[in-house]
């Protein structure tokens, strides 16, 4: 037992040890959280999720635990497509951290996933009751959860129940006008299936227009009412045609533009034309750098040409964000919804970039719409003028397949400027993109960065083999494009290194110099592969013709030793090519370290 005189000292010691222990736990939590954030920024979702999970398990009382749970649930929802785990994680956040600023949003996400992903109306209803119980003073959160229930019932064709819940939502949350207006619109749509009288059906839509005149729901309701009158009165048809003609739009100001090279460069060429329309002029080298293409490398033995078709991220959005622009994108398997989104963009004077697969694969810019004639006008690259065609023809050319991993019927437009980045901000953002592009990873099942180089090295060392023709074709068609990308990286860094100043600027200038070396070594690699490929060629005799009978046998005997020597020589040529590639890899790793130091200094 501690004597009375020594008790204060012992207590102080215990408090100090406890404080140290708590501090150590929090510091560990911080380190786990920071690592998770770095992995998340790099797009390494699984590594980020593991760090968030460890933080929550090791220190569930950490001040960062709720944030970690929120982001872990996001990863389950978006990156891993696991709605059940996302729901469980959001619930854990709400239950274990009821005072967290994320608690209400977490339950709202539970409701959203139950509605949109699972279509479970009863589960949505139960979550709504939980939200009402825990957050009685948050009518907006309650209204959003209630709207999820209404939408789920409607999607399940439970129209009577949907109408009942929609009416209840409107009366319970009259100040939440967006949710109330959407509920009223759903009620009207459900009424189309449940009400026999056309006049009663029309009244429901008219009520949406009268009660919520400035809402999007009112716009949709007006269209529905217009269609009803179209069915009933010939005069309405004339008025609707006039409205359609008035809705015709043509966006001027996009002149001729070029888009050449592989799929990636053609995409960036059209994007540059779209940027120029919005007053942002960039050259091809800058576009390659901002999109990450100047720094990345992809290779797959089964499909070596894939390097000309992939980006590390959506190039349109990545370039727009780096330049401080606000952008919109849309992708959907539904031709109807895709066309509607396109029409809305053009109506608001936003040219739309999209991909046509017929009669030849190319990116185009849609600039006009004539609803009355059901026609679209778009501009194709490389000097050809605007093309106007009917909607059905346009949609048949706008294929439903995914291009560059961007999803079916992808469309992209720019809506304005969010901010104007400084030269230093633009450079730093690009360096982060470069770091992500150079990191070993897999994109759409294809190795990238150093992993891709190693895959190519294995193919070179395996020669002569059955896929030699693919390797040779890669060297002929894709290697020049890779050199062009590295030349773009060199030029971009040389031009912009001064924006950072000091040692960081010197590091980038040195990186630019190394990129020049890489370009030269890639040219040497091309020659090495060409020589190795020539070493594999065979001829039957000096005259290039077969020799008959005993003469042919004697000729073959004379050539026997030469054939084995040629085979050994060919293998050595491929080994030399692999060694040359290894030197290129060393330079790529060197330039990666230089650029990373420029980011972290």
Domain segments of the chain as ranges: 27-246, 263-281+325-418, 425-537+566-600
**CATH T-level fold of 27-246:** 1.25.40
Provide CB contacts within 8 A for 354, sequence distance 6+: 342, 363, 364, 366, 398, 409, 410, 411, 412
Q: What pLDDT does 564 receive?
A: 57
Q: What pLDDT does 236 receive?
A: 65
Helix or strand (DSSP H, E) at 38:
helix 7-42
In Å, how far are 86, 340, 413, 443 from 151, measured between CA atoms?
21, 21, 29, 35
Backbone angles phi and psi of 355, in degrees to 5? -110, 130
The torsion region of residue 502 among left (phi > 0), alpha (psi -120 to 50) and beta comes to left
Distance CA 409, CA 394 (A): 11
Distance CA 167, CA 435 (A): 53
CA-based angle 524:304:312, to the nearest 5? 95
Is the dihedral angle over the CA atoms 184, 345, 362, 307 positive or is it negative? negative
Q: What pLDDT does 408 receive?
A: 82
Q: Where are the alpha helices (DSSP H) in 323-449?
A: 335-347, 391-397, 423-438
Q: What pLDDT does 361 receive?
A: 80
Distance CA 351, CA 246 (A): 18
Nearest to 302 by CA among 528, 436, 473: 473
Q: What pLDDT does 63 receive?
A: 93
* CATH 3.90.70.10 is right for the domain spanning 263-281+325-418: yes
Q: What pLDDT does 190 receive?
A: 93
Tokens of 180: 């109330």
Distance CA 15, CA 371 (A): 76
User: Helices 103-113 and 139-155: crossing angle, nearest 10°?
Assistant: 10
Tokens of 190: 């459900």
Q: What pLDDT does 25 receive?
A: 56
Distance CA 487, CA 481 (A): 10
Name 362's bridge partners.
356
Within 10 angstroms of residue 450's Cβ, the number of other Cβ atoms is: 17
In the predicted model, residues of the chain with pLDDT beneath 50 are 1-23, 538-561
Q: 0.85 cut: is pTM over it?
A: no
Q: What pLDDT does 135 receive?
A: 94
Q: What pLDDT does 237 receive?
A: 66
User: Tens digits of per-residue pLDDT, 465-499?
Assistant: 777 888 888 999 899 999 999 999 999 999 999 98
Name 411's bridge partners.
330, 354
In Å, how far are 44, 276, 426, 433 from 41, measured between CA atoms?
8, 29, 17, 10
Nearest to 289 by CA among 266, 319, 313: 319
Nearest to 355 by CA among 285, 477, 259: 259
């Amino acid at each position: 037992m501690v004597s009375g005189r020594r008790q204060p000292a012992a207590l102080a010691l215990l408090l100090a040890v406890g404080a140290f222990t708590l501090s150590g736990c929090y510091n560990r939590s911080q380190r786990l959280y920071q690592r998770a954030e770095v992995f998340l920024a790099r797009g390494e979702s699984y590594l980020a999720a593991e760090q968030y999970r460890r933080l929550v398990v090791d220190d569930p009382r950490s001040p960062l635990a709720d944030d970690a749970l929120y982001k872990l649930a996001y990863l389950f929802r978006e990156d891993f497509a696991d709605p059940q785990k996302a729901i469980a994680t959001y619930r854990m956040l709400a239950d274990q951290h009821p005072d967290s600023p994320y608690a209400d949003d977490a339950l709202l996400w539970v409701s959203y996933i139950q509605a949109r992903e699972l279509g479970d109306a009863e589960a949505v209803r139960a979550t709504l009751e939980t939200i009402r119980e825990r957050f009685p003073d948050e009518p907006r959160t309650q209204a959003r959860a209630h709207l999820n229930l209404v939408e789920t019932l409607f999607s399940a064709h439970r129209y009577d129940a949907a109408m009942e819940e929609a009416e209840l939502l409107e009366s319970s949350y009259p100040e939440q006008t967006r949710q109330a207006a959407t509920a009223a619109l759903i009620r009207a749509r459900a009424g189309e299936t449940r009400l026999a009288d056309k006049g009663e059906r029309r009244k429901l839509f008219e009520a949406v227009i009268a009660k919520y005149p400035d809402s999007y729901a009112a716009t949709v309701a007006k269209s529905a009412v217009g269609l009803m009158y179209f069915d009933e009165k010939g005069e309405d048809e004339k008025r609707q045609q006039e409205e359609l003609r008035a809705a015709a739009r043509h966006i001027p100001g996009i002149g001729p533009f070029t888009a050449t090279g592989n799929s990636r460069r053609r995409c960036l060429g059209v994007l540059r034309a779209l940027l120029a329309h919005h007053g942002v002029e960039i050259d091809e080298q800058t576009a390659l750098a901002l999109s990450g293409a100047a720094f990345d490398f992809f290779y797959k033995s089964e499909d070596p040409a894939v390097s000309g078709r992939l980006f590390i991220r959506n190039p349109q959005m990545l370039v727009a964000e780096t330049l401080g622009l606000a952008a919109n994108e849309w992708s959907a398997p539904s031709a109807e919804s895709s066309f509607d989104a396109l029409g809305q963009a053009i109506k608001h004077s936003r040219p739309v970039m999209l991909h046509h697969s017929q009669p030849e694969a190319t990116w185009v810019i849609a600039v006009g719409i004539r609803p009355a004639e059901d026609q679209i006008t778009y501009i194709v690259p490389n000097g050809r003028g605007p093309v106007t065609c009917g909607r059905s023809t346009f949609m048949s050319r706008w294929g439903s397949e995914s291009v560059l991993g961007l999803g079916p019927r992808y469309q992209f437009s720019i809506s304005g400027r969010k901010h104007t980045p400084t030269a230093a901000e633009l450079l730093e953002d690009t360096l982060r993109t470069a770091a992500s592009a150079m990191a070993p990873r897999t994109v759409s099942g294809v190795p990238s960065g150093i992993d891709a180089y190693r895959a190519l090295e294995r193919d070179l060392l395996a020669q002569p083999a059955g896929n030699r023709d693919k390797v040779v074709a890669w060297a002929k068609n894709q290697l020049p494009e890779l050199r062009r990308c590295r030349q773009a990286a060199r030029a971009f860094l040389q031009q912009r290194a001064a924006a950072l100043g000091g040692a960081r600027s010197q590091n980038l200038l040195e990186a630019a110099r190394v990129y020049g070396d890489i370009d030269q070594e890639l040219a040497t690699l091309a020659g090495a592969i060409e020589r190795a490929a020539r070493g594999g060629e065979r001829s039957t005799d000096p005259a290039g013709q077969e020799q008959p009978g005993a003469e042919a046998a004697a000729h073959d005997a004379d050539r026997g030793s030469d054939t084995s020597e040629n085979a050994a020589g060919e293998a050595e040529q491929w080994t030399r090519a692999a060694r040359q590639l290894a030197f290129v890899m060393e330079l790529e790793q060197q330039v990666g370290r230089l650029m990373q130091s420029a980011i972290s200094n």
